[in-house]
Chains A and B, each alone.
Chain A
């Protein structure tokens, strides 16, 4: 409960970003953007190749956006959720197509 309160309380000011957010934004943003771009191309449609091009071309931009979005979250907890929830959905979807 203490940990939850620590994570959920917004910081008093935003003049520094903090290591927690930096790490989540950098690595979490990478995993999130890479997996969601893979989801884009995972459907077996005639357009699979086209969507793979889009995924490959824009995954770095998606990383940039995701990292910014995570870094700007109001609290540490929401930063963690912004990474973990969409990543879980993407992972679940990819796992479902994989088997």
Chain B
């Protein structure tokens, strides 16, 4: 008797924890998922958003590296040793980037090898969407206000991701120990069923992404104490302990102080490709350039070994002599310590560095489904609350209105962000501040609208419609300003945004108008059988 009682209490608590914690973290989780989908396509958006990046793609061997480098060597302020050349195509960047640890990067047009006037922070659409994804919100300035908000937001998102991990574990246990009905008769049962049927399959992906997100937002911030505890008080930076494992130490190469002519970089690129054909080259580091001891170190991504490389920690590399092109050193994907693979595997689905469009779209699709499932989770709770009133009065709950604003109100706000990208002139001072400010204004306005409209179904339809129109408008504004840019991913982004806008409008037209129609809409197909 006592035994079964304890087990009943345990199950009750498990259900309660899943519900309560799930509701608390669900809206933040939804935001992270929603903006995360845009962050998955960040490489494509950051090319689309900048007029200076509307450059046709080119093969790496055909770039005039010597002209580019002569510009860099003439720049008296740019450091000369360990210059890093990031090839076009890395994270889909269409320009060639020349950078150094201690200097601002210079961007070059790959077709003409001329310097590009970078828009810098005047154009920050993709970066802003990424910041919203990890909670760096309201950082309008570097002063106290902005700094305080961005730290608060990141810690809040970090705490929410730990909550999500708890919710995932409790959810998996719930699925294992309970059996759920296959046929839903009420909207609430329908929402629960969809919530389970989607997340049952997608939770491993969500888990890995959430875990790596929690690592970046919480573990790194709190690593000082761990560093001190595990090193018996000798170190206060965790880098001192994990750095040697995660990053390959760079040994300085001795100068010979004899001038030498360098092989053309295009030739070295060809050589490197012949030695490691499976590696996509991302960047080259120029060591002791124009000296007899000159070396070039290529780093890249090996697409045949996903989950083992691709993130920040494991990049296969190959070092050639820049004088005669002999192979000096080579680091394969599988040459590292086991913990590097553990962290790479955990981070792979989050960073997706070097991963092609198809895999990205697949991950984005899984994430979109999961966001929908989170929405169904919230809806099932609201339906449960609404049932208490049993159609006698219209259900009006602040959490319902707030959820409506967060989950659907974000769509017109984001659409506004995209439309403003091409509506605001690029030489407008504080351009990004206007763009961010209007984005938050629209989002806030949807909250007012959600409270104002008594009928939540109608408000939802209006949000989706407005969002769809704004996304489509952003594409036409882009075409009006830049013309149609045919042979590239830029047109692809246009078409994707057009498709997104059309789908949103279609959903807006299809969704039910009120709660009576909704009942039929959600479970009609089941009743017909």
Chain A bound to chain B: yes
Residues of chain B with a CB closer than 8 A to A65's CB: 165-166, 169
Q: Are A63 and B162 in contact (CB under 8 A)?
A: yes
Chain A 35-48: CB-based contact to B (< 8 A → 1; otherwise 0): 10110011000001
B9 contacts partner chain A, Cβ-Cβ < 8 Å: yes
A77 contacts partner chain B, Cβ-Cβ < 8 Å: no
Q: Are B245 and A50 in contact (CB under 8 A)?
A: yes
Partner of B169, one of A34, A56, A68: A68
B200 contacts partner chain A, Cβ-Cβ < 8 Å: no
Chain B 279-298: CB-based contact to A (< 8 A → 1; otherwise 0): 00000000000000000000
The stretch of B221-229, B450-458, B476-484 in contact with A is: B221-229
Q: Which residue of B lies closest to A10 (CB)?
A: B9
Residues of chain A with a CB closer than 8 A to B226's CB: 34, 37-38, 41, 52, 55-56, 59
Chain A 13-40: CB-based contact to B (< 8 A → 1; otherwise 0): 1111100000000000000001101100
Do A72 and B165 contact each other (CB < 8 Å), given the known contacts A10-B6, A50-B339? no
In the assembled complex, the CB of A71 is this many whole angstroms from the nearest CB of chain B, namely: 6
B40 contacts partner chain A, Cβ-Cβ < 8 Å: no
Residues of chain B with a CB closer than 8 A to A54's CB: 339, 342
Interface size class of A (residues with CB under 8 A): 35 or more
Residues of B212-247 contacting chain A, CB below 8 A: 214-215, 218-220, 222-223, 225-226, 229-230, 232-233, 238, 241-242, 244-246
Q: Are A49 and B238 in contact (CB under 8 A)?
A: no
A94 contacts partner chain B, Cβ-Cβ < 8 Å: yes
The stretch of B13-21, B53-61, B64-72 in contact with A is: B13-21
Q: Is the interface of B mostly helix, strand, loop or mixed?
A: helix
Q: Are B245 and A67 in contact (CB under 8 A)?
A: no
Q: Are B161 and A13 in contact (CB under 8 A)?
A: no
Residues of chain B with a CB closer than 8 A to A50's CB: 245, 337-339
Residues of chain A with a CB closer than 8 A to B232's CB: 42, 97-98
Residues of A48-99 contacting chain B, CB below 8 A: 48-61, 63-65, 67-68, 71-72, 74, 94, 97-98
Do A57 and B241 contact each other (CB < 8 Å), given the known contacts A41-B230, A64-B165? no
Residues of chain B with a CB closer than 8 A to A68's CB: 17, 166, 169-170
Q: Are B13 and A14 in contact (CB under 8 A)?
A: yes
B396 contacts partner chain A, Cβ-Cβ < 8 Å: no
Do A72 and B17 contact each other (CB < 8 Å), given the known contacts A13-B9, A14-B9? yes
Q: Are B230 and A38 in contact (CB under 8 A)?
A: yes
B73 contacts partner chain A, Cβ-Cβ < 8 Å: no
B10 contacts partner chain A, Cβ-Cβ < 8 Å: yes
Residues of chain A with a CB closer than 8 A to B337's CB: 49-50
With A and B bound together, what is the CA distance between A21 and B229 in angstroms? 28
Do A15 and B241 contact each other (CB < 8 Å), given the known contacts A57-B215, A57-B343, A68-B17? no
A-B contact pairs, 21 of them (CB 8 A): A10-B6, A14-B13, A14-B16, A15-B12, A35-B229, A38-B229, A41-B230, A42-B230, A42-B232, A49-B241, A49-B245, A53-B343, A56-B220, A56-B226, A57-B219, A58-B211, A61-B165, A65-B166, A74-B6, A98-B229, A98-B232
